[in-house]
Amino acid sequence: MVLQESPFPNRFLSGLYSLGQYLLFPSYWATDCLLDLRETTAERQQSWCRCCPCSPLRAVVTGPLLLLLLLLSMPVALLGLLLWLPLQAARRPFAYKHTAPSRHPELWELPGTGKAFSFVSANVCLLPDGLAKNSNLGQMKQRVASIGQRLTQGEARASLASPRSSQFDREEGAGPGEISAPFPPDVDFLCLQEVFDQRAGARLCQLLSPFYEHIVYDVGTYGLNGCCTLKVLNSGLFLASRYPVLAAQYHCYPNGIREDALSAKGLLSVQVQLGGAQGQRIVGYLNCTHLHAPAGYSTCYGAHAQIRFDQLTMGLSWVQLFQDAHAQQGDVVAFDVFCGDFNFDNCSSGDELEQTHHIFQQYQDPCRVGPKNDKPWAIGTLLNYLEIYEEAVSTPEKLKSTLEQEEGRRKYLACPILKDGCPDPSAAGSPWEGRRIDHILYREHPAPISLTTEVEKFSFITQLAGCSDHMAVGLRLLLNPAPQ
């Protein structure tokens, strides 16, 4: 099956949809600029360095003007909304971009030698500027350009080298865990979260398409289509693959509340073709998700942990349905990866419910020994957002060096939490690992040709320092045909 690039069945509906978005944009822009009047730590530091009092004056002067523009644009926005909402019923919940690359990946043939595949998952916090301020981040246009450049640095270096090889040299006695400043030079699959802004998603497509032939973006439902509440943001999921995408499917979590009720968070499942084995396909499955964010307990809705627990259960069910629907007899399944921002860790007492979910019986977490027990080399991935602009963590190299020391981890990695979402004071006396909420899990499948899976490397990547309040994580799997 070849995926159609446009999420609409014809150009007429696509044009009407674009018209509705244009009519909505002035109100959207004015609202975003009003929220963007708050300053990040970096912006306050710049104002202090310049001894400039103009930032408060900017809010006083531009605030009323933006509010006036918002009010004047409301009638036009209402027309746009009346056009935009009904069209959601005709929209497929993702767009797809296919670009012919300068070099194609080497397809895998079995029987034959083993092959390695590399995965990266990252929360890039590409929300509209006003909403990104909640994570002490702003300047979305500059950040998306920087993120795209950093994501492709390794690929650009690899393109100048000799053709990519799936084999690698392993250091004797080295464990799989590492803290790395750059992204690996040979990432096959990128799974991103919080690409909420459509302009950011389109820009990322431009920046990544020379290196990734297949991109699934703008994932999620808008409006009331298939959801219980009005969705004004998509799911934020974004997937780039060097290998052909055979099928893709998205499901929206129906139980998001509070701020999460406004976004279409869900699960994106993708089937990719990796090669052939005696006339049968070699395929892989990628499942990318972003779970419910609020922590603690809500008097109206109960424990937020239960929402995440239920979302994982729904996700596993959807994964199985997707794989059953798209599998062919004789398929060799090389990998089945479940990754994303889970918004719970394996060290907080407030996350005990999710830590015992049966997903960890079906999938393997390379960083985990058991509930509340991670491997010694595992560290947290959520940064203390109030500190992300400090000099000690201002560059990927500085952040890497800082996090290699426990004192640095204590200051710059988010603290474990209690059931009410507050920091856990008892964590101060124990070795500090921080909140590891970004995960890459994998599992093996029985196949006509048996494969053994080995974790060659798991990376905590600091390359997004200053661009996100999360560290990226990377997984490299080595797949070998089992001896007969």
Any idea which residues carry the catalytic annotation? Answer: 470
d(CA 286, CA 338): 6
Q: What is the C-alpha to C-alpha distance for residues 63 and 35, in angstroms, rounded to an integer?
A: 10
Residue the block writes with tokens 């009904």:
86
- Distance (Å, whole) CA 410 – CA 393: 13
Q: Judge contact between 250 and 268, C-beta under 8 A.
A: yes
Residue in this structure with the two tokens 């990266």, named with its chain if needed = 120
* Beta strands 214-217; 238-241: pairing state: antiparallel
Nearest residue to 355 (alpha-carbon basis) of 338, 372, 334: 372
**CA 315, CA 305: separation in Å to the nearest integer?**
15
Supply angle C-alpha 377, 379, 385, rounded to 5.
Answer: 160
Q: Is the peptide bond before 111 cis (omega within 30 degrees of 0)?
A: yes
Contact 152, 433 (CB under 8 A): no
Q: What is the DSSP string of 339-395?
A: EEE-S--SS-GGGHHHHT-THHHHSB-TTEEETTEE-TT----BB-GGGTTSGGGSS
Strand partners, 321: none
The Cα-based distances of 44 to 38, 48, 285, 420, 462 in angstroms read 10, 6, 45, 31, 24
Residue 246: in which H helix or E strand, if any?
strand 245-252
The C-alpha atoms of residue 476 and residue 472 are separated, in whole angstroms, by 14
Q: CA 112 to CA 321: how far, in whole Å?
A: 31
Alpha-carbon span 73 to 71, nearest angstrom: 5
Helix (H) or strand (E) holding 400: helix 396-403
Q: What's the CA gap between 383 and 401, in Å, rounded? A: 15
Cα 117 to Cα 56, 449, 460: the distances in Å are 51, 18, 17
Per-residue DSSP letter, 231: B
Burial of 51 (0-12, 13-18, 19+ CB in 10 A): exposed
